[in-house]
Structures are given as structure tokens and as C-alpha cells.
């Protein structure tokens, strides 16, 4: 597809506060998240101060929020010391030991139930232990009971008969299988009639339902039933959607996924998590059931009646929401994901992608990622840019958990919370997460910009004076966010402000048409294959002149001429991916710029690939 330079130029002249990017980073990821000079450290201190001020306030809202115990923390594959950024709040109930058990003061080693964050561990364990073909095998070839059911119900109505032969473990992992949400009878309204026949009449009056016998619910009344009884109970449930139609949250799907993984690996899930994840990653404070030793109980977060909350049994729901962990252990897990510690980098990249949309423009879904598309606000570095947050939330019983991974920074953050007030707990958890996002993400972007200016910005000149070749890379103070000013129509990023090759002004040529030219990372820092383990290392960028907005509606709202709808707005929202690598000379992209780095990541030279001439970095005067 070809978009004329004239159209791109006209669109660019009309832009205001927009940003051209590929999906991914604007700068190489920040390496310093923990020193006193890091913007991330400053931002975390400010966040902690805000939380202190609010929780110690006199308002009724602050007093109510104080009744939720929570722990938050950061992690980074590039800076192990980032885990020092934590904040912990102990509610009065926990501090006074109202439950009779557990810690009186929470910290990074306090044990919480993590609820449905467990689902992330379940998929990760499957990725480590299973083959690709396992993920794409129909459940009817894994669970014989479902095969028998499918065979005997070939003529069943598709409205009332689940297509088990079309559902795979990968569909379950992506929450797009269409299976019924819940799988145990205890979650059915009719369960009230178990042991109380008079309850049926009450249900009929309250909901207008017809009479039904409690025996219709089968033998799997709760999560403590056998696998066989569970499968017998769910196989006849009608589907919610056809497989691969739309994401639909289903705890039942993850119970079935746990059963499938167990059968494919010939191991119980109680053994899978410790052997596949906990032990290899040193997660010594993570468990598949409530700890029973006094030392661990004494640092556990126990709210309410223990048997109803912290110590409640998992049964078949282990793979859906039964794990226990700590802030420090979740940091180890998150770091292992972004660092590809147990998976290959290729597998990690394939896994951390959206599978399907939701009805919202800002939320997509993966396996089992709940992907939030964060738009950097005005007054922050890279205002208007979209950064994908790969998250998994958990909310069950008295506990909430949330894992947030930001691939472009190689970093993330977590929250664990506990309270018997479900509504309050969820509200406080989400509010704190919003505060963390507002504090951490712009700081990570600003730190990355500050690092890029130090490591990459400068003037590069050919050592051969006869070539008359030079390139100047710059980055303004506004890109770091210290001024709070708007950073211009083309957003943040390294800029090529001068490019002369063999005496020719390249920026004035048809290749760049004197448009603002930014550099966007395309290939991460790698050791040169000819010199493994030695310097220099290399990182590649693509030079781009394309504008972009977060959506075509944003382009229209910005007053970009000619934007009427999704088709006329496509050039203003996605030009980079459409036009990348469009011009070559002698088989090399004219937009490809490769930096050579020393062991500290400092650029010593760069090569515009198509020009085939290395330019040496000049010393700062």
C-alpha cells in the first residue's frame, strides 16, 4: 500500500498534540528505577506521600479506605533494586488481630490469597510444560467424558449443547471458549433448595422461575467434588457463545484448563505450580493451599473467619483462583515473565499479544491477559502515546490481587489487598492502581527519555573528512517531563535534527521532506554475533516522519483536515505500521539507523544502514 508523501505532509501540518509510534517503546527501556536520581524513585516517594496523606486524613472516606489492608510494589528486569519501591497499609482490624490469626503488620513477605491472578500462573505453567500441539488439541481428545458426550449429542441443539470438540486449552486460556461461567451447583439459584425443599417455592415467587428438583443439580455441589463428577455436571450446560466468538469470563473454563493441563502432563495441579514455577524462580512464600506452619501463618494476612476466607479450601478451583503469594514473590514472577527466564523470548513475545477485542476501545484480551491501553496524558512525556498494560486481576472472597506488566519498560507493579467488605476492597484496590499508573508510567517514560538523551543524543561524524557525513540526534527537556510543557505535534522521542551524507542534506530529500524526523526503537540491544560477550552491542531504530493519534475520533477532535471516519482517519492513526521500511537502497532500508554501544549502553557510533558509513560520536564540549 502506498500513501503519498504529499498526503502525509498535509496531514502533518494540521496535527496538534499527536504521536507517531509503533506498538512498543519510544525509547530503550529505563535501566535505573531505584537510585536517588531516578525519576521513578522520586515519583514513588510522591505516591507514598499521597497515600500517607489520604489514609491519615480525617474524612469519612479516608477512614473507610483505611479498613482495607493492602501491599503494593514494583519490579524490573533491568533493575533488581526496583523491588524496594513498596508501600504497605495495615488496617486496624488486622493490626488488632481481630481474626485471631495472622500478621499484625504487613510487608513484602506477607502472604495473601491472590484470587484469579492464579489464572496467570496456570497459563504460564502450561506454556512451560506443554507443547504447541497440546494447546490446540480439542478437549474431546483430552477428556474422554466430553468425547462420549459429544458423540451421543451430535444432533443436539447448538443453543443448548456445548461444542466440546471445537474447544481447546488455548481457547480456555484466552477466555474465548464460550463455556458456561460457573461449573458447580453451589452457584446455582436452585442450590438454596438443597436440604430445604421449601426454598423452591421462595425462588418461584421471587424470580418467577418454574418448579425444579434440587436433584437436577447433579452430584457436584461444590468445588470439593471429584473431577469425574465435575465434568458430568458441566458437560450438559448450554454454551454462552460459540467458541472463538467473544471473550467471556469463565471460572469454569479455568477449572477445565487445570484438568486438561493435569491430564496432559500426568501431574496434579498441586504439583505443577511448585515444580514448574515456584521452585525454579525461588518463590519460597507461594503456596497451593493455606500454610499450616506457625511461622508462615504469623506473616499471613487473615481477615474475617479463617475457614471462610484465608483458609478456605480450593478443591477443583485451584487452577482458577486458589494460589497464595506475597509482594516479593509476585515481583520474582513478574520479572521472570518480562525476562523470559523460563520461556524462550519468542514464546514470551507471542504470548504477550492480544487475542480478541472487547467492546471498549481501551481494553483487549489475551491468555489470560486483561490488556489496558493507557494513553499518556497531556503534560507528561510522550503525551498522546498508547502504552499497553498486560494485567491480570483477582477478586474472590475477602481478597483482591492485580499483576500489571508493561513490556516496553521491562517492568511492572502489583497490588494485594484484603478486607471482608467486598465493595470497599474492590473500590480501594482500583483507586490505588489508578494512582500507581498515574505516578509510575510517566516516570518510567521520563526516565527512559533521560537515559536516551545521555546514551544516544549527540553529533556523529565520519572519520573520513572526504565523505562530509554527519548526523545530529537530539532530545528536548520537555520530553523528559521536567517542564510539564506540551512536547509538540510529534510527541516525544529522539529526533534527527541534522543529517548530511556525502554532502547531501538527507532530511531535505524526498525521503523525509523536511518533516520532523524521530527515531523509534525497532530491534532491542543485542551483542554482535561476531563478538559474543564483548562490546560493542547494537540497537536499531527506524526513522519516522508520520503523525498518529490514539484513534480516528481523536484525530477528528484535534481538527485534522479531512478526517471524517475510520477510513479517512487511518493515515492519522496508523501511518507507521503501514509505511515502515518502505524505501530501500541496495537492499537496505533508508530509515534504519543502528547504534553501536559500549558495555554501559553508551553509543560510540551509529550507521545509517543504507549509507554504509559508520559515524563516530563526537565528544561533548
Alpha-carbon distance 20 to 4, whole Å?
17
Helix (H) or strand (E) holding 403: strand 399-406
Give pTM, 2 decimals.
0.92
* Burial of 353 per CB tally in 10 Å (0-12, 13-18, 19+): middle
Tens digit of each residue's pLDDT (9 = 90 or more) over 501-556: 999 999 999 999 998 899 999 988 765 555 555 546 899 999 988 766 777 777 77
Find where cell 559508520 sits: 614
Q: Residues in the chain with pLDDT < 50?
A: 1-20, 482-490, 535
CA 10 to chain centre: 36
Q: What is the pLDDT of residue 3?
A: 38
In b/e form, how buried is each residue of 564-591, taking b as 16+ CB within 10 angstroms? eeeeebebbbbbbeebeeeeeeeeebbb
Alpha-carbon distance 342 to 348, whole Å?
9
Sign of the alpha-carbon torsion through 541, 10, 514, 442 = negative
Alpha-carbon distance 110 to 326, whole Å?
6
Q: What is the pLDDT of residue 12?
A: 36
User: Is the domain 29-184+220-456 a CATH 3.40.50.2300 member?
Assistant: no
For the record, the C-alpha cell of 263 comes out as: 491430564
Q: CB of 375 within 8 A of CB of 385?
A: yes
Q: What is the pLDDT of residue 377?
A: 87
For the record, the C-alpha cell of 368 comes out as: 489470560
Alpha-carbon distance 266 to 272, whole Å?
10
* Burial of 152 per CB tally in 10 Å (0-12, 13-18, 19+): exposed
Q: Return the DSSP state at 461.
A: E
CA 17 to chain centre: 26
- Each domain of the chain, given as residue ranges in start order, spans 5-20+457-617, 29-184+220-456
Q: What is the pLDDT of residue 20?
A: 43
Alpha-carbon distance 455 to 603, whole Å?
6
Q: Which long-range contacts (CB under 8 A, 24 or more apart) does 210-217 make?
A: 214/190, 216/190, 217/185, 217/188, 217/190, 217/191
Q: Got the DSSP string for 551-610?
A: SHHHHHHTT-TT--STTTTHHHHHHHHHHTT--EETTEETTEEEEEE-TTS-EEEEEEGG
Alpha-carbon distance 616 to 414, whole Å?
43
For the record, the C-alpha cell of 208 comes out as: 418467577
Report the 3 state secondary structure along 36-62: CCCHHHHHHHHHHHHHHHHHCCCCHHH
Report the 3 state secondary structure along 179-210: CCCCCCHHHCHHHHHCCCCCHHHHHHHHHCCC
Alpha-carbon distance 218 to 229, whole Å?
8
Q: What is the pLDDT of residue 480?
A: 62
DSSP E strands in 56-180: the ranges are: 69-76, 86-89, 112-113
CB atoms within 10 A of CB 372: 17
Q: What is the pLDDT of residue 528?
A: 54
For the record, the C-alpha cell of 109 comes out as: 513477605
Q: CB of 185 within 8 A of CB of 194?
A: yes
Amino acid at each position: 500500500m502506498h500513501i503519498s508523501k504529499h498526503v502525509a505532509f498535509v496531514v502533518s501540518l494540521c496535527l496538534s498534540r499527536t504521536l507517531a509510534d509503533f506498538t512498543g517503546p519510544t525509547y530503550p527501556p529505563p535501566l535505573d528505577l531505584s537510585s536517588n536520581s531516578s525519576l521513578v524513585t522520586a515519583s514513588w516517594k510522591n505516591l507514598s506521600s499521597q497515600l500517607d496523606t489520604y489514609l491519615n486524613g480525617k474524612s469519612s472516606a479516608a477512614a473507610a479506605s483505611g479498613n482495607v489492608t493492602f501491599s503494593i510494589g514494583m519490579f524490573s528486569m533491568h533493575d533488581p533494586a526496583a523491588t524496594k519501591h513498596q508501600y504497605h497499609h495495615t488496617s486496624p482490624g488486622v493490626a488488632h488481630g481481630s481474626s485471631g490469626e495472622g500478621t499484625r503488620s504487613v510487608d513484602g513477605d506477607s502472604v495473601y490469597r491472590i484470587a484469579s491472578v492464579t489464572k496467570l500462573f496456570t497459563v504460564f505453567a502450561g506454556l512451560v510444560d506443554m507443547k504447541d500441539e497440546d494447546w490446540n488439541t480439542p478437549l474431546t481428545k483430552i477428556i474422554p467424558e466430553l468425547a462420549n458426550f459429544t458423540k451421543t449429542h451430535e444432533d443436539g441443539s447448538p443453543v443448548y449443547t456445548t461444542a466440546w470438540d471445537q474447544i481447546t486449552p488455548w481457547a480456555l486460556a484466552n477466555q474465548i471458549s464460550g463455556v458456561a461461567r460457573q461449573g458447580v451447583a453451589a452457584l446455582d439459584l436452585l442450590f438454596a433448595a438443597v436440604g430445604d425443599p421449601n426454598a423452591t417455592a421462595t425462588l418461584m415467587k421471587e424470580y418467577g422461575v418454574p418448579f425444579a428438583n434440587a436433584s437436577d443439580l447433579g452430584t457436584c455441589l461444590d468445588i470439593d467434588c471429584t473431577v469425574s463428577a465435575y465434568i458430568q455436571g458441566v458437560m450438559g450446560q448450554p454454551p454462552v457463545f460459540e467458541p472463538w466468538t467473544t471473550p467471556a469470563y469463565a471460572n469454569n473454563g479455568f477449572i477445565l484448563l487445570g484438568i486438561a493441563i493435569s491430564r496432559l502432563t500426568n501431574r496434579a495441579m498441586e504439583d505443577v505450580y511448585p515444580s514448574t514455577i515456584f521452585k525454579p524462580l525461588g518463590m519460597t512464600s507461594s503456596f497451593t493451599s493455606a500454610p499450616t506452619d506457625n511461622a508462615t501463618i504469623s506473616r499471613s494476612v487473615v481477615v474475617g473467619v479463617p475457614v471462610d476466607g484465608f483458609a478456605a479450601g480450593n478443591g477443583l478451583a485451584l487452577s482458577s483462583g486458589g494460589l497464595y503469594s506475597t509482594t516479593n514473590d509476585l515481583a520474582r514472577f513478574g520479572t521472570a515473565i518480562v525476562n523470559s527466564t523460563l520461556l524462550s523470548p519468542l514464546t514470551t513475545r507471542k504470548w504477550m499479544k492480544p487475542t480478541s477485542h472487547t467492546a471498549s476501545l481501551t481494553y483487549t484480551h489475551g491468555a489470560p491477559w486483561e490488556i489496558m491501553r493507557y494513553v499518556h496524558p497531556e503534560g507528561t512525556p510522550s503525551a498522546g502515546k498508547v502504552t499497553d498494560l498486560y494485567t491480570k486481576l483477582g477478586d474472590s472472597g475477602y481478597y483482591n490481587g492485580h499483576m500489571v506488566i508493561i513490556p516496553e519498560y521491562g517492568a511492572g507493579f502489583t497490588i494485594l489487598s484484603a478486607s471482608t467488605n467486598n465493595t470497599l476492597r474492590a473500590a480501594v484496590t482500583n483507586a490505588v492502581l489508578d494512582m500507581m499508573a498515574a505516578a509510575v508510567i510517566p516516570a518510567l517514560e521520563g526516565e527512559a527519555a533521560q537515559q536516551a538523551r545521555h546514551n544516544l543524543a549527540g553529533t556523529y561524524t565520519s572519520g573520513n573528512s572526504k565523505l562530509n557525513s554527519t548526523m545530529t540526534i537530539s532530545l528536548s527537556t520537555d520530553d523528559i517531563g521536567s517542564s510539564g510543557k506540551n512536547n509538540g505535534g510529534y510527541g516525544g522521542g529522539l529526533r534527527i535534527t541534522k543529517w548530511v551524507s556525502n554532502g547531501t542534506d538527507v532530511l531535505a530529500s524526498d525521503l523525509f521532506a523536511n518533516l520532523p524526523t524521530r527515531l523509534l526503537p525497532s530491534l532491542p540491544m543485542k551483542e554482535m554475533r561476531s563478538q559474543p560477550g564483548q562490546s560493542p552491542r547494537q540497537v536499531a531504530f527506524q526513522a519516522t516522519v508520520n503523525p498518529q493519534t490514539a484513534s480516528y475520533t481523536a484525530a477528528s477532535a484535534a481538527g485534522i483536515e479531512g478526517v471524517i471516519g475510520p477510513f479517512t482517519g487511518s493515515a492519522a492513526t496508523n501511518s507507521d505500521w503501514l509505511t515502515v521500511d518502505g524505501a530501500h537502497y541496495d537492499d537496505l532500508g533508508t530509515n534504519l539507523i543502528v547504534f553501536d554501544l559500549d558495555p554501559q549502553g553508551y553509543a560510540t557510533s551509529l550507521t545509517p544502514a543504507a549509507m554504509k558509513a559508520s559515524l563516530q560520536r563526537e565528544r561533548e564540549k
